[in-house]
Amino acid sequence: MGKINNVLLRSVDERKEELLQILTDLIRFQTVSPPSRNTAEAQQYIEQFLKREKFATDSWEVYPNDPNVVGIKKGTGGKDYKSLIINGHIDVAEVGDDSEWTVPVFNVEVREGFAYGRGTADMKGAMAAALFAIKLLNEYEVELKGDLQFQSVIGEEVGEAGTLSCIEKGYDADFALVMDVSNSEIHGQGGVITGWITVKSQEVFHDAMRLNMIHAGGGVHGASAIEKMMIVIAALQELERYWAVTKQYPGFPAGTNTINPAVIKGGRHAAFVADECRLWITVHYYPNETYESVIAEIEEHLYHTAMADPWLKENPPKFKWGGKSMIVDRGEIFPALELDVEHEAVQELKKAHEQIWKTAPNVGMSKTVTDGGWFGQAGIPAAIYGPGTVEEAHSVNEKINLDELGKFTKTLLVFIEKWCNTKKK
């Protein structure tokens, strides 16, 4: 047929039970992260689904029993037309004690226009919508002249960057749409990096030696690593306040760029002066910054702090930043994503949203972080656009509005057809 028409769009409403069934199928796979290592069956379901809809597929284990799946439907116009990545993660947030849930955790239940279950908002609702859209595009024989790529990735909930693995394998496109939770608004995002700061004494002292450390003339040049870490924490708070008044970015409240002292570990036991203390921090930064530049600022600030303290000067803090997994190496990186509002794909996405919703979409910045930053870092223009709210993500009795999910499906149909039939300039 060549163009998305009202018959196809009406079919989303007429066949909404099919969309709900795909969502139900996905929710039943208990892909909770952590503990992770549990997505293979869900990914096999998605891979088989894509194959039925005439996609060539690829899958590989990022971690044992946690494979990525990529499906590609080659366009009829070859490299002359725009290509598109549709990206989403198959893992869902941990549940923990489910005694407060009043609906089944892993079996969709519909109440008053909402579908309930872990992952409905974050983000199996969007995954189901994209798969349903793909099915309709194939069934109605909608021609796509540019390549359409669907990525189902693992590990987003624990910073395991399945999306980065796709990029490292060479998967790219002219634009990437990350379907993570955005309340059907078009978002960029700030970045996040975690880091461990360690203060460690070169010597170990019995608790009885503290008397000789804390008084003038005691004769022992020593200190508690825990107490010295308090100086480091105070310095981080000072830097955080400085950032709040010297940095800003449109779409973010002042002071969004925070340094959170999340976890602290120190000392051996009560008979020792603490010879080591480790602090785990989470740093949020703005889209016009990189985690490398933010790391450099923190380390420089703490270097000057250490130089002003006689003991820290000789026992300066040491750093370990980021990591590819909160589970494996206790660290993560989510690069920031600057949103180019004037980019041709963003403009087409806005038009598609307005066509379906009859109102212009809100454009702004995400309250949280997603895999979208990996595309930006790789030079692939991207935007975050997905159904559901951040308030529902990770919540007890997680739910998604089915009317919004249907409109999101229609918006995808319009946007995919338009973008993948756009000739490159």
Q: Is 91 a catalytic residue?
A: yes
Structure tokens at 126: 């969007």
- pLDDT at residue number 215: 74
Where do the domains of the chain lie, and which CATH numbers do they carry?
A: 6-189+337-419 (3.40.630.10), 191-321 (3.30.70.360)
Asked whether the CA dihedral 299, 305, 311, 314 is positive or negative, the reply is positive
Whether 26 and 127 have beta carbons less than 8 Å apart is answered as: yes
Closest CA to 156 of 352, 327, 365, 361: 327
pLDDT in tens, 164-196: 999 999 999 999 999 999 999 999 999 999 999
pLDDT tens for residues 30-78? 999 999 999 999 999 999 999 999 999 999 999 999 999 999 999 999 9
pLDDT on residue 37: 98
**Which pLDDT score, from 0 to 100, does residue 1 have?**
40
Catalytic residue among 156, 332, 371, 398: 156
DSSP code at position 325: B
Q: What pLDDT does 211 receive?
A: 87
3-state secondary structure of 416: helix
- CA atoms of 86 and 130, how far apart (whole Å): 8
Q: Tell me how far CA of residue 143 lies from CA of 135, 149, 424, in angstroms.
A: 13, 15, 17
- Of 66, 91, 122, 157, which is the active-site residue? 91
pLDDT tens across 201-219, in order? 999 998 888 888 877 778 7
Q: Cα–chain-centroid distance for residue 39? A: 17
Backbone angles phi, psi at 241, to 5 degrees: -65, -35
For 46, residues 6+ apart whose C-beta sits below 8 A from its C-beta are: 69, 71, 90, 127, 131, 152
Mean pLDDT by 10 residues, the chain (425 residues): 77 97 98 97 98 98 98 97 98 95 98 98 98 97 97 97 96 98 97 97 90 80 94 98 97 96 96 95 97 98 97 97 92 96 98 98 95 97 97 97 98 98 95
Q: Is 156 a catalytic residue?
A: yes
Asked if residue 229 lies in contact with residue 264, where contact means CB atoms within 8 angstroms, the answer is: yes
Backbone torsions φ then ψ of 216, nearest 5 degrees: -55, 135
Burial readout 14-25 (b: 16 or more C-beta within 10 A, e: otherwise): eebeebbebbbb
Tell me the C-alpha distance between 339 and 346, whole Å.
9
Q: Which residue has the tokens 């284990």?
A: 61
The total of other beta-carbon atoms located within 10 Å of residue 360's CB is 10
Radius of gyration of the chain (CA): 25
Q: Phi/psi at 51 (nearest 5 deg)? A: -60, -40
